[in-house]
A and B are shown apart, each in its own frame.
Chain A
Amino acid sequence: MAGSGTAHLRNTVDAVLTVRDLTVEFRVAKDKIVKAVSGLSFDVIRGETLAIVGESGCGKTTLARAVLQLPPPNSGEVVFEGTDLTLLPKENLRSARTSMQMIFQDPISSLDPRMTVHQLIDEPLEIWGRGTRAERDERINNLLNNVGLEPDLVLNRRSYEFSGGQCQRISIARALALDPRMLICDEPVSALDVSIQAQILNLLQDMKDRFGLTMIFISHDLAVVKAVSNRVIVMYLGKICEVAPPETLYTKPAHHYTRALLNSVPIADPTRQTRTELLQGEPPSPMNPPSGCRFRTRCAAATALCAEQEPQLQEVAPGQFVACHHPLA
């Protein structure tokens, strides 16, 4: 049911980021092309947290990087605050990127092990020559205080001396150094212990409120997404299945894939019977996706129509859009 369409775009002036028909392809062999993201559209309104969920390999990370033009997408447009980033010359893009910053999945690999915390956070400030030495030091201290680290204790240490959670705090401080308007978090908590996950999520929420950030939050963990997002996009094999606010999505999923995802969330109650209807098989290869609806090979409700025609996103309830020929009632 994963399909295309732009019905869910809100076309308001408040949209910080609008992505239309974004396609990212990788050439893996001479005539083999992987379509990691194919014809995807979405928008993010100022102050909103958009969550993107989907299983591993469905193109979430590729999508996030394509928004930052790292690497640039093969086609489609990425309009950030009125400017199409795909059309910007290299030098302008360099400065445009600073208003969008990214938090990565692996907190340790996102910090250079040879640099001290001071150097790490100073780096973005230094590139853009923000302020004098003293002003920058002041700023670094403020940032570290903001993310809950004691500057005097951490400034001269290197990333390997910290735990994953602390590294992620440092990453957040570094990302905030340039006063971005948007933060793209690529699975920011999936590499952390559960107890630390909550701390980092709270921290991100705090930072968002304090600095008026707009966030794109990528995750495969539905419980995490529920806690932070205003709107959720469910992705499957590089396409959108469903777009909905979390309350609707979690109680009344309209897409078969969304329901399967929700069913796969473990329930901490040993007396409860395991629920049936778990998905069978592996997702098909993005090199050779199924015709029509991409989810039909694993969908219980698939019919001949699903193989012939690609479903378009349509509104089934206020704010809830689904790309499926046979949406769940």
Chain B
Amino acid sequence: MDDTLYREELMEVYKNTSNRGRLTDPSIEIMQKNPMCGDEIVLQLKLSDTNPRVIEDAKFDGVACAVSVISSSYLLDALKGKSIEEAKNMTKEQLLEMLNLNLTTSRVKCATLVLDALKNAIDQYEQR
């Protein structure tokens, strides 16, 4: 693991991200588990009534390591204001680029937990 993960500004995100918590009236909510470590996060999205629907707000919560929390926080920042279609097209590579961390294979899974949650949340929403 690159020591830079635990640098101060990232620790600030880890400890105090405002994207962590719960929405009062989410349009979509999903729980995602990382079977490798037992972590679980809940992802909530609030969608607009407009057409196309836009992600107005998003929150995550749960048990997760620093990589997962920081990644979730970055992804949620990027999601706000995007349409469902745009969110759906978000790739693992884009997320990892946004994070710009030198992650080992096992920790990439921590980083992409929130992205898996996002994909499943959208799938679930579209199947309604």
B and A form one assembly: no
Q: Which residues of A contact B (CB under 8 A)?
A: none
